[in-house]
Structures are given as structure tokens and as C-alpha cells.
């Protein structure tokens, strides 16, 4: 039994291949090599036609078989033999499903909603609502939040070096300028609970906080579409979260000087429409390829999960008796 495997969907002889039919044979020349193919009398016409069709390209294996009745069962074997000598190339390509940036961003929002649904129970927010979080995790949230806010301008900076549209560059520049010195707000918040400024440079972030910051930095430098999508996750407005945070701070006796700067920072983002920054940036992308779409969704899915894991680490570490707060290792 012989087995013929069709390695091609739409084969074509390579660009440099030339062909010369000589009655009983056909000569193919490629670079410095010459291949003489003997033609059987009963299939000579179809054999020449097949080679001519392969020279032009554009025909599928099924089309070749249908148009060459005397060779219908031999097309696969012939192509396999030609490929063995490096004479064939594939010309079939699946059409890429490119989209406008605005359309893809709408789909991305639905994707984020589905990912979040998988992690519907965020332990930190749940602890705020049900009143189980103590004083230390509330302070711990501010400490981890401080890392992200402080590093934000440095993480954003590489994205400004890309050649973008004038509008995109202006959006990123304005965002960069608006984020400068926001860490001073959180410094005031932490000072209200005894975290001195001299200790802030020695703070050690939790593993997932560090992972999130590192991911943002990598996307800003190496994959701008993912960076543009990620900004939404950190700038979206969450009135329910901040109301619950304030309520719990009051319940455990934390001073207004602690929670007010955090809420002030959230209101700055709200007033500056930072929650719509990703949408505005994607509106400036005329076309995003299918490959890029998949990369963005992969990165953002991981980032959403990382934020959930960071929440859990804040509760686990800062809620554990005897944990070092602030998190400083000498």
C-alpha cells in the first residue's frame, strides 16, 4: 500500500524555476540544478498542463485534480516529489482578521468582563464589604498602591519613544504629566499612620505587586497595544470600592488624613477622564492584526488575574499577625 500525503493546499513552483517542454520530456531548472522529467505518452498533455499550472500558481490541489483527469490520482504524489527537490512553495494563506482599534477595544472590554467573572470573588473587596478586614490590610493596600503610583511615570516613559500619531502622543504626554507627583498624596496618607518618608525608599513590594509593575514596564517598552489596553485597568473609576474602603477605614478608627489622600487620587483620575484613556488610544489605531489582538488578550487576561492575586496577597500578608508593616527588610 502506498500513502500519499498532500503537504500543500495551493502549491506553486518557486519564483526562480524555469520550464522547457521537449516533446517526450520536460526540463525544470532551478538555480544551478536541472531536472528532466520523462512524460508518459498517455498522460503527456496533462503532465505539461500541470507543470504550467504549477508555474503560474493559484490552483488548489482539488482544482488541479479536477482539471487534470488523467492525473487526478497522481497530483499529490507529483507535488510531493517536486517538493523533495525544493521546487515547490505554498501560496495559500488564511486571511488575517484585522480590525479597527475601536472595534477591537469593544471586544476587549467584553473579554475583560468574562475574565473578571471567573474571578468574581476578590478577597480584598469582599473583606471591605463584609467587615472582616482589619486595620493592617487597609494600610497594606495603601503601601502596595504606593509602589504602583510611584513607579507609574517611569513605567510609562518608554511608551513615549514610539512613533505614534500626533493625537496618541499628546494623550500619552498629558497622561504622563498628570501622573507626576501623585505619589506625594499617598506619602501623606502613609505618614498619617506612622510610615515615615525615610522608610518609603526601602519598601519591598509583594510579589504580585512587583509582577504587575514589571508587566506594565515590559508592555510599555515592547508591546504598546498591550500597554494601552492595560492603562484602563488601573485608571477605571470604582465608586463602590472607594466608598467601601472609606467606610471600613472609619469603622476601624483610621484617621481621615489616611484615607482622604487615597480618595483624592481616585477623584483626580475621575476628573481627568483617565478611565477612558485606553478607549481614546485604541480609537487612534486604524488597524490591529489578528496576531496582535491575540497577544493583547493574552497579556490583559494575565494582568487581570495578577490583580486578583495581588488582592489576595495583601489580605494574606498584612492580615497575618506578626507581619512586618511597613514591609521593609534590613
For CATH 3.90.930, list the domain ranges present in the chain. 11-90
Q: In the beta sheet, which residues pair with residue 12?
A: 89
For CATH 1.20.910.10, list the domain ranges present in the chain. 101-318
| Annotation: CATH topology of 101-318 | Heme Oxygenase; Chain A (1.20.910)
Measured CA to CA in angstroms, residue 308 lies from 122, 156, 244 at distances of: 6, 22, 17
What is the reported pLDDT for 192?
Answer: 95
> CA–CA separation, 43 vs 132, rounded Å?
84
What is the reported pLDDT for 31?
Answer: 87
| Annotation: CATH topology of 11-90 | Outer Surface Protein A; domain 3 (3.90.930)
What is the reported pLDDT for 3?
Answer: 39
Q: In the beta sheet, which residues pair with residue 11?
A: 90
What is the reported pLDDT for 4?
Answer: 42
What is the reported pLDDT for 96?
Answer: 65
Tally of CB atoms within 10 A around 143:
25
Q: Cα–chain-centroid distance for residue 93?
A: 23
Q: Give me the average pLDDT of each 10-residue run along the chain (330 residues).
A: 58 91 89 89 90 90 90 87 87 78 95 85 87 94 94 91 91 89 91 91 94 95 94 85 94 96 79 74 93 92 93 94 85
Amino acid at each position: 500500500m502506498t500513502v500519499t500525503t498532500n503537504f500543500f493546499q495551493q502549491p506553486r513552483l518557486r519564483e526562480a524555476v524555469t520550464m522547457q517542454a521537449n516533446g517526450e520530456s520536460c526540463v525544470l531548472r532551478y538555480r544551478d540544478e536541472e531536472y528532466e522529467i520523462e512524460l508518459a505518452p498517455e498522460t503527456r498533455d496533462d503532465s505539461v498542463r500541470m507543470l504550467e499550472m504549477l508555474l503560474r500558481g493559484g490552483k488548489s490541489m482539488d482544482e488541479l485534480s479536477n482539471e487534470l483527469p488523467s492525473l487526478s490520482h497522481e497530483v499529490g504524489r507529483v507535488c510531493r516529489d517536486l517538493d523533495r527537490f525544493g521546487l515547490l512553495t505554498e501560496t495559500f494563506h488564511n486571511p488575517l482578521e484585522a480590525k479597527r482599534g475601536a472595534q477591537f477595544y469593544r471586544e476587549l472590554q467584553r473579554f475583560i468582563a468574562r475574565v473578571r467573572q471567573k474571578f468574581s470573588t476578590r478577597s480584598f473587596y469582599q473583606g471591605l464589604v463584609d467587615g472582616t478586614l482589619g486595620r493592617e490590610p487597609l494600610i497594606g493596600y495603601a503601601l502596595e498602591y504606593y509602589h504602583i503610583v510611584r513607579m507609574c511615570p517611569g513605567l510609562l516613559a518608554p511608551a513615549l519613544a514610539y512613533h505614534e500619531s500626533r493625537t496618541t502622543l499628546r494623550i500619552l504626554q498629558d497622561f504622563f504629566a498628570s501622573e507626576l507627583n501623585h505619589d506625594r498624596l499617598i506619602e501623606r496618607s502613609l505618614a498619617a499612620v506612622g510610615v515615615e518618608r525615610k522608610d518609603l525608599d526601602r519598601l519591598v513590594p509583594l510579589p504580585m505587586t512587583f509582577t504587575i509593575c514589571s508587566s506594565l514596564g515590559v508592555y510599555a517598552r515592547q508591546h504598546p497595544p498591550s500597554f494601552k489596553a492595560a492603562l484602563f485597568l488601573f485608571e477605571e473609576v470604582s465608586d463602590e470600592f472607594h466608598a467601601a474602603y472609606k467606610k471600613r477605614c472609619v469603622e476601624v478608627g483610621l484617621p481621615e488624613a489616611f484615607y482622604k489622600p487615597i480618595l483624592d487620587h481616585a477623584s483626580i483620575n475621575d476628573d481627568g477622564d483617565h478611565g477612558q484613556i485606553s478607549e481614546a488610544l485604541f480609537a487612534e489605531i486604524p488597524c490591529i492584526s489578528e496576531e496582535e489582538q491575540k497577544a493583547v488578550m493574552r497579556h490583559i487576561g494575565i494582568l487581570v488575574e495578577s490583580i486578583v492575586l495581588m488582592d489576595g496577597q495583601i489580605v494574606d500578608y498584612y492580615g497575618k499577625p506578626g507581619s512586618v508593616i511597613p514591609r521593609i527588610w534590613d
